[in-house]
Every structure is written in structure tokens, then in C-alpha cells.
Amino acid sequence: MRADSGGTRKPSCFASWIFRCRAAWSWRLACPSGMVLTRLTAAPERRLARRVCGVVLDHFDAQYSSELGDAWAAVRDILTSPCCWQYAVLLNRFNYPFNLEEALRLRGYRTVFQGSLPHCPKSMKCYLSTTAGRMPSERHQVGNLKKYYLLNAASLLPVLALELRDGEKVLDLCAAPGGKSIALLQCADPGYLHCNEYDHLRLKWLMQTLESFIPQPLVNGIKVSQSDGRDVGDAQPETFDKVLVDAPCSNDRSWLFSPDAQKAACRISQRRSLPLLQRGLLRSAIKALRPGGLLVYSTCTLSRAENQDVINDVLNTHSNVIPVDITEMARTCSQDFSFAPTGQECGLLVIPDKGRAWGPMYVAKLKKSWTV
């Protein structure tokens, strides 16, 4: 769970991906080194059934049928069917798995983003399959770097939108569990990386993630802090070239499978306060950003109130912030992702679709001007 000082919590996007396909099938990849990967030995009797929370689904039906129109029916089908969810494999350049890469290719996996986005570095390689399912996660072992990271491929869009370059100063304002920080380091070698997370337990998770994927000398150069993100801008004004705000949000995937209907109903009322927190985080990020710097805001919810409305409010109240057109990103990624209209040139919304079960993921890109 992600928390802020006001007590609002966001279940991690990554936590919702623990659901696996219930179909009873498996396959093995035999690598030249003798390493064998077993995927999805999914005996239904060995898994606890994941049940959709009716209270949340009714709430989503009311809200998203209005906001997404006819597209909601297809999105609904994917969100309520974990066996349809897809998982991408981000390779770790600091312990590159050449044998695994070849095995993935033999199984029909292909790279995503390479060649389609001009600012996608060759050092970042992510493989995906059009079929549902996932590889097993690697266990954390002290002193051993993991070879790959499993993720929702849409979560790489905010990272790529940031256009990180070597030597830049970067702030990941809400960093836990660390997936986007890891992805940033696959793209470039920042001169300074500051990862912030307020919640104590999630902070430990973040630090373990960094230690699992990044060589110790580089980890030692990363600043990790436990601050309320809304205070960072005042503490470090105009410090960073790039800022990522992967904000606490409703997290539609995990919320939909809430085990406690009463708590889920309580969260429906609490959901209304999230935009206030998100705007506070964005205001802090703008203060921390140097003039001319880029800021990317992202969430893993479909909610217009937490996405477009938050960005529009910031643009209307900050004369030194200008939107950056990222519609070209949607055009070049349309083969792999489905997008819903946002009414914004600076904002994209990835929606889950059949065969492209990525998202939800909202991405908005802003720039701080040199003059107020």
C-alpha cells in the first residue's frame, strides 16, 4: 500500500499483478546454460479464487460507463478476468540475461517500444507476448542481481515520456515499490537520482527493489528519502531536470478485488479526497523542477477526476507550467496499446483491451517555463 501523511493509501499497481491465469497449462524454456524457466503451473485447486467486489464493480459501472461510454464494456471484461491479464518482461541491463532473451524470442515474445519511439534508448529492453500469463518472479537474494522485472507494459510509458538523459538530476516523488525507478535506470545514467517514499513499509520495499536490480556502487549514489511528497518542493526548489509523479490513486485493478465489501464502500467516499492529494504532490513537483525541466504525472486509474481534472486544474492555476503534446506517443504505440480519448494533447489514457490487456495507465507531460 502507498500512503501519504493524510492517511490516503494506494494499493500498488504491482500488487494487483499477483493474480495468475487459472487455466491448467504450463511450459518450459530450456536455455543454453541449462537454466529452465517454468511458467504458470496453474492448478486451480492450488489457488484461492479471486472474487470481484460487487460494491466496487457497481461504483465503476456507474462512473466509467459515463466517462468511457461504449469502451467500458470491453474494459470491464478485462478488469474482471485476471486470466486475461498480460505481463511484460523488462530485462536488467546490469545483469543482462542473454540466454533468457533468446528463449523469450523462441517462445514468440517480441520487444516493445524499440524503433517506435525516438526517445526509447537501446539499453532498455522489454519483451511481451500477446498471450495471457506470466513468468515466475525471481526471489530477492542479497548480493545477487535479478535478471528481469515483471510489469504492466503500460507502466513504462511515463518513464519513456520523461526522456531521461545521462547526467540529469531526477526526482521520483512517489517511488515505491521501485519499478519505475528501475526502468529509469535502464534508460540512462542520471547524475543524481532521488527516490522518495513516505510510507515506512513501502520504503523498505523500494530499497529492496533497488538492491535487487542495481549494482551496489550505483545504489550508494541514489538518495532515498521518507518525506511527505508535498514538502519536497519547498525543501529542494528548482533542483531537478526531470520529475516523475506516479501519484497515489484508486488503482482500479486491485480495488476491484477488495476482499472486504464494507471497507471497499468506505474507500468509495475516501476516493473523493484523492485529487486534493494529487494536486498537492504536483504543486510540490513543480516547485522542485528547474525552469525548462520536464514533469510527468501518472496514475493507474481510469478516473477522470484523478487524471484529466487534476492536470487541467494545475494548468489553470500555474502560469509557469505548459502542456507538452504527447499524442505522437499514442500513434506510434497503437499496435501494442489501446487508448481512450482524454481531450488533452498532453495526456494519454491506456485502457485494457482484448489481446492488449495493458493499463489502466494515465500519463501527462508538462514543462516548466523560464518565465512566470
CA-based nearest residue to 96, from 140, 146, 56, 144: 146
264 is in an annotated binding site: no
* Angle at the Cα of 164 from the Cα atoms of 352 and 344, rounded to 5 degrees: 45
Neighbouring CB atoms inside 10 A of 106's CB total: 11
265 is in an annotated binding site: no
197 is in an annotated binding site: yes
300 is catalytic: yes
233 is in an annotated binding site: no
At 185, give phi and psi (nearest 5°): -75, -15
- Provide the CA 316 distance to its chain's centre, in angstroms: 26
CA-based nearest residue to 57, from 72, 75, 74, 76: 76
Order of strands across the sheet with 126-128? 110-111, 126-128, 88-91, 148-151
190 is in an annotated binding site: no
E strand or H helix at 316 = helix 308-317
Q: Kindly state the cell numbers that stand for 135.
A: 513468468
Q: Which of 13, 84, 126, 300 is catalytic?
A: 300
Q: Using the CB atoms, write b or e for 58-95: b if 16+ within 10 Å.
A: ebbeebbeebbeebbeebbebbebbebbbbbbbbbeee
Tell the burial category of 143 from Cβ atoms under 10 Å away from its Cβ (0-12, 13-18, 19+): exposed
Residue owning grid cell 465489501? 261
Residues 56, 52: Cα–Cα separation, whole Å: 8
177 is in an annotated binding site: yes
- The DSSP secondary structure of 250-284, one letter per residue, reads --HHHHTT-S-HHHHHHHHHHGGGHHHHHHHHHHH
Residue owning grid cell 478488469? 79
CA-based nearest residue to 360, from 13, 126, 83, 57: 13
228 is in an annotated binding site: yes
147 is in an annotated binding site: no
Would you name the residues annotated as active-site residues?
A: 300
List residues forming the annotated binding site for S-adenosyl-L-methionine: 174-180, 197, 228, 246
List residues forming the annotated binding site: 174-180, 197, 228, 246
